[in-house]
Amino acid sequence: MPELPEVETVKRGLTPAMEGTRVTKLELRRGDLRFPFPDAFADRVSGRTIVSLGRRAKYLLVDLDDGNTLISHLGMSGSFRIEEGRIEDGAASGVPGEFHHARSKDEKHDHVVFHLQAASGPRRVVYNDPRRFGFMDMVGRADLAAHPFFRDLGPEPTGNELGAAYLAERFRDKAQPLKSALLDQKNIAGLGNIYVCEALWRAHLSPIRAAGTLVTAGGRPKVQLDLLVASIRDVIADAIAAGGSSLRDHIQTDGSLGYFQHSFSVYDRESQACRTPGCGATVARIVQAGRSTFYCATCQK
């Protein structure tokens, strides 16, 4: 599933193509994705102007000029494709990048089409999802924070709210494994398996140690927790700068793939040498809560 850096990359790719445009038509080629579309969804979006695009955790947010926000989740295989020009004239779409791998271009997987009018002319933004695990919803912007998707989410890993003192409050006296605590969206919004593994390696912290061991008896963060927060921020920033990690189905809006997977230190590197200088050990793989965890048992304590 695309993680926060992948969704942020998609948002940044869509922003110049969608912000300020008018939706001349929202074309739904089926009645549902993972869930049914909202009632009168196409009619409510058609004719509206797109004010801005945003992201919360792993959700894309499209703000409309009537005060509503379109919510989109990419699921396992969802992606957006930008096409310039009229279709009958032969639309020019994004050019796949050097690391492009085959994706379905069959129209049966193009489930939602935004027909847009921009100052430069018409364009389409196409949502393609072979597995149909993604979904779309709509809610008033003023009600967004109370929506079931968002009301229990913790702070963003890149925001000012995330700090060692905040995590110390959340982790105090917790016997829960550290990795599980970091994947809990109520603690931090948007962190996924890949980047938790990478951040823990950077902080030299074991994924299996109890989260509460990073907090003093008085409830203050230990120095390791400060290091962990810095590592989370750094790994997310590095991944966004690299365009995300193109594992399996993730693809950027121009068809190219992210490059961060070439910088993985532990994820998907089982039995390979740990990249910590002087460590000399190899990366191990264990399963926690049904997910693969990659770490170095020698330098992560």
Q: Quickly tell me which residue has 């389409």 as its tokens.
A: 124
Q: Residue 25 in contact with residue 8, Cβ under 8 Å? A: no
Surface-to-core class of residue 254, CB atoms within 10 Å of its CB (0-12 exposed, 13-18 middle, 19+ buried): middle
Task: Provide the pLDDT confidence category of residue 143 given band limits of 50, 70 and 90.
Answer: very high
How far is it, in rounded angstroms, from Cα 265 to Cα 127?
Answer: 32
The mean pLDDT of the chain is 87
Residue 192 tokens, joined: 């996924």
Do 72 and 125 lie in one domain? The reply is yes
H or E element in which residue 5 lies: helix 4-18
What is this structure's pTM? 0.85
Q: Which of 3, 8, 83, 156 is catalytic?
A: 3
Among the candidates 100, 115, 146, a domain finishes at 146
Q: Residue 221 in contact with residue 172, Cβ under 8 Å? A: no
Quick: pLDDT tens for 7-17.
888 888 889 89
Asked whether the CA dihedral 161, 167, 168, 170 is positive or negative, the reply is positive
Catalytic: 291?
yes
Note the pLDDT of residue 24. 98
Task: Provide the pLDDT confidence category of residue 249 given band limits of 50, 70 and 90.
Answer: very low
Catalytic: 19?
no
| Cα atoms found within 13 Å of the Cα of residue 249, Cβ hemisphere only | 19
Report the b/e string of 149-170 with b at 16+ CB within 10 A. bbeebbbbbbeeebebebbbee
Note the pLDDT of residue 77. 82
* Better-scored residue on pLDDT, 29 or 95: 29
Q: Residue 99 in contact with residue 52, Cβ under 8 Å? A: no
Note the pLDDT of residue 255. 52
Do 194 and 133 lie in one domain? The reply is no
Task: Provide the pLDDT confidence category of residue 98 given band limits of 50, 70 and 90.
Answer: very low
Do 8 and 133 lie in one domain? The reply is yes
Note the pLDDT of residue 237. 87
To the question of whether residue 131 is assigned a binding role by annotation, the answer is yes
Among the candidates 89, 115, 146, a domain finishes at 146
Report the domain count for the chain. Answer: 2
Do 182 and 254 lie in one domain? The reply is yes
Residue 158 lies in a domain: no
Mean pLDDT of 158-177: 95
Do 172 and 199 lie in one domain? The reply is yes
Q: Which of 58, 124, 202, 269 is catalytic?
A: 58
Catalytic: 58?
yes
Task: Provide the pLDDT confidence category of residue 246 given band limits of 50, 70 and 90.
Answer: very low
Instruction: Give 25's strand partners.
Output: 115
Note the pLDDT of residue 64. 98
Which range of residues forms the domain containing residue 262? 164-295
C-alpha distance across the termini of the chain, in Å? 28
Residue 151 lies in a domain: no
Catalytic: 2?
yes
